[in-house]
């Protein structure tokens, strides 16, 4: 039998050992002034999760489950309370969204929408690349971004093959990055685009409840109104950067058009199950808009069960297409974040780590940079689980509206344009062999433009939504 430990990378092996040692050291250390014993235990659990999320000695869901188990084991909170946090409505919202993405993939509806859009965009090399970018971005409004990447990649690879593009082709690289960066930018569109925003909303809701605040929860329309303009700016910046760095090669795109037409003919006419799926998905979007933020998880589950009832989705399909590990990872992350808040560890950290002289805009910039930097190497769920609980009391300390953090942290954690470790979409395109990190370093430009757009939104547009950064300190 092969010994898995012998195949573990040195960095992973380091994390496997250092994480528990750091956790134990914090747990056994003298109690700092102003921190409760339960808070110190929660910080010990957080330290292990950070190290394991960073060095990946085990799968990300396993790290979250370990964090969940250690919360009662180290005395951070009772077992029933920790497990109750795991069974959060946001976890079931994530499950429902992934089931909807699975049925759109299985029925071929998402493929049909993709082919229809690309056929209309196949007029020139530039339009084709912008079409891939825009379609990848737009599909994320109703389909989770990871699923969009999985749908788009085979089509893009077939286009590259039909155009006979070699591994050094600028157009091939531009097409692949258009797909990847389109889904990265699109992951910030709505609550359906990724699970990041849902996780942030839940952590914020827990913090608001514990802090005794009566602020209204953030709903589907409110979040999309704040996030979608930033997402659009990111997509447009990505298209401009790719056009400048990978200019057209003068390729005849007729073979690509022919291939798209062939794929469309293979699908045939729209089937009954596709119409049913389309109707259910549109109904879900309307229900999420009208039902209110507290009902998002319920709506997602009802829609998912309806798809099974209509027999357009089978349980075997759910097992095949849904990444159940994501639900486990988010459940554990919510539990760890909730423990940090309920034990007072987040407030203590904010007071210790951040000087009183920091102004609102300095605080905003620091949070954005930290989230965007960490998301290149750590799961964005882990980034939110670590940064948001600490940032919320920090926002209050800096005179910020804590609502802002529900937008700033998940959006900044979505600026993952460079490394293959940042998102599944980036990992997919790196796996094709057409790209190296030097080709994606230009993603830093896209990130900077996205930061600027986010700051403009925070300063100009968000106040119209009731969110405002105090003007005592200039940006």
Residue 475 belongs to a domain:
no
Residue 4 belongs to a domain:
no
Judged by DSSP in three states, 259 sits in: helix
Angle between helices 403-412 and 196-211 (to 10 degrees): 150
145 band by pLDDT with thresholds 50, 70 and 90: confident
Strongest mean pLDDT among 130-139, 283-292, 464-473 = 130-139
Residue 77 belongs to a domain:
yes
pLDDT of res. 6: 53
What average pLDDT score do residues 202-215 get?
76
- How far apart CA 133 and CA 429 sit, in angstroms, is 14
Model confidence pLDDT, tens digit, residues 408-428? 888 888 888 887 767 778 878
Model confidence pLDDT, tens digit, residues 310-322? 888 888 888 877 7
Model confidence pLDDT, tens digit, residues 70-80? 999 999 999 99
pLDDT of res. 421: 66
Query: Which of 408, 414, 418 shows the shortest CA–CA distance to 365?
Result: 408
- Report the predicted TM-score, pTM, of the whole model to 2 decimal places: 0.73
Residue 384 belongs to a domain:
yes
Model confidence pLDDT, tens digit, residues 375-388? 776 777 778 887 88
Query: Which of 45, 18, 38 shows the shortest CA–CA distance to 336?
Result: 45
Query: Which of 152, 100, 35 shows the shortest CA–CA distance to 308?
Result: 100
Query: Which of 195, 103, 194 shows the shortest CA–CA distance to 145?
Result: 194
- Whether residue 363 is predicted with pLDDT greater than 80 in this model: the reply is no
Model confidence pLDDT, tens digit, residues 20-66? 999 999 999 998 888 899 999 999 998 998 888 878 898 878 888 99
Domain that holds residue 296: 10-465
What average pLDDT score do residues 139-154 get?
82
Instruction: State the total domains in the chain.
Output: 1
The set of residues, in sequence order, having a beta carbon less than 8 Å from that of 60 and lying 6+ positions away, is: 53, 325, 329, 379, 381, 382
What average pLDDT score do residues 107-129 get?
79
- Whether residue 4 is predicted with pLDDT greater than 60 in this model: the reply is no
pLDDT of res. 29: 92
- The token pair at 458 is 């925070």
- Whether residue 356 is predicted with pLDDT greater than 80 in this model: the reply is no
pLDDT of res. 472: 39
Residue 144 belongs to a domain:
yes
- Whether residue 305 is predicted with pLDDT greater than 80 in this model: the reply is yes
pLDDT of res. 461: 72
Residue 128 belongs to a domain:
yes
Model confidence pLDDT, tens digit, residues 189-199? 988 888 788 88
Residue 131 belongs to a domain:
yes
Query: What is the overall mean pLDDT for the chain?
Result: 81
Residue 207 belongs to a domain:
yes
């Amino acid at each position: 039998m092969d010994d898995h430990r012998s195949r573990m990378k040195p960095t992973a092996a380091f994390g496997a050992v250092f994480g528990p040692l750091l956790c134990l050291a914090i747990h056994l250390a003298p109690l700092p002034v102003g921190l409760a014993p339960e808070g110190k235990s929660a910080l010990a659990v957080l330290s292990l999760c950070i190290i394991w999320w960073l060095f990946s000695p085990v799968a990300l869901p396993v790290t979250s489950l370990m964090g969940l188990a250690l919360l009662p084991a180290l005395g951070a909170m009772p077992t029933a309370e920790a497990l109750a946090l795991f069974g959060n409505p946001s976890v079931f919202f994530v499950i429902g969204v992934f089931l909807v993405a699975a049925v759109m993939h299985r029925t071929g509806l998402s493929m049909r929408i993709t082919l229809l859009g690309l056929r209309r965009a196949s007029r020139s090399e530039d339009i084709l690349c912008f079409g891939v970018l825009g379609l990848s971005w737009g599909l994320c409004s109703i389909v989770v971004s990871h699923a969009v990447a999985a749908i788009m990649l085979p089509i893009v690879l077939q286009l590259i093959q039909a155009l006979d593009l070699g591994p050094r082709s600028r157009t091939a690289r531009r097409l692949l990055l258009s797909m990847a960066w389109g889904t990265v930018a699109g992951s910030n569109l709505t609550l359906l685009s990724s699970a990041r925003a849902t996780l942030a909303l839940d952590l914020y809701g827990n913090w608001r409840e514990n802090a005794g605040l009566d602020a209204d929860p953030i709903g589907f329309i409110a979040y999309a109104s704040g996030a979608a303009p930033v997402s659009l700016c990111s997509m447009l910046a990505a298209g401009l950067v790719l056009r400048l760095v990978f200019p057209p090669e003068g390729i005849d795109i007729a073979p690509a058009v022919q291939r798209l037409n062939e794929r469309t003919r293979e699908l045939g006419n729209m089937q009954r199950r596709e119409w049913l799926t389309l109707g259910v998905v549109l109904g879900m979007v309307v229900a999420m808009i009208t039902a209110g933020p507290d009902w998002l998880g319920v709506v997602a589950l009802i829609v998912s069960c309806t798809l099974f009832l209509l027999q357009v989705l089978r349980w075997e399909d759910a097992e095949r297409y849904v990444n159940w590990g994501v639900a486990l990872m988010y459940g554990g992350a919510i539990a760890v974040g909730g423990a940090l808040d309920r034990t007072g560890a987040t407030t203590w950290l904010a007071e210790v780590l951040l000087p009183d002289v920091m102004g609102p805009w300095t605080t905003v910039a620091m949070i954005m940079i930290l989230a965007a930097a960490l998301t290149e190497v750590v799961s964005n769920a882990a980034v939110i689980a670590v940064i948001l609980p600490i940032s919320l009391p920090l926002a209050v300390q800096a005179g910020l509206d804590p609502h802002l953090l529900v937008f700033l942290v998940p959006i900044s954690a979505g600026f993952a344009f460079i490394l293959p470790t940042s998102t599944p979409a980036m990992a997919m395109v790196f796996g094709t062999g057409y790209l190296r990190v030097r080709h994606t370093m230009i993603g830093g430009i896209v990130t900077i433009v996205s930061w600027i757009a986010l700051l403009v939104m925070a300063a100009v547009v968000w106040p119209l939504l009731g969110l405002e950064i105090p003007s005592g300190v200039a940006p």
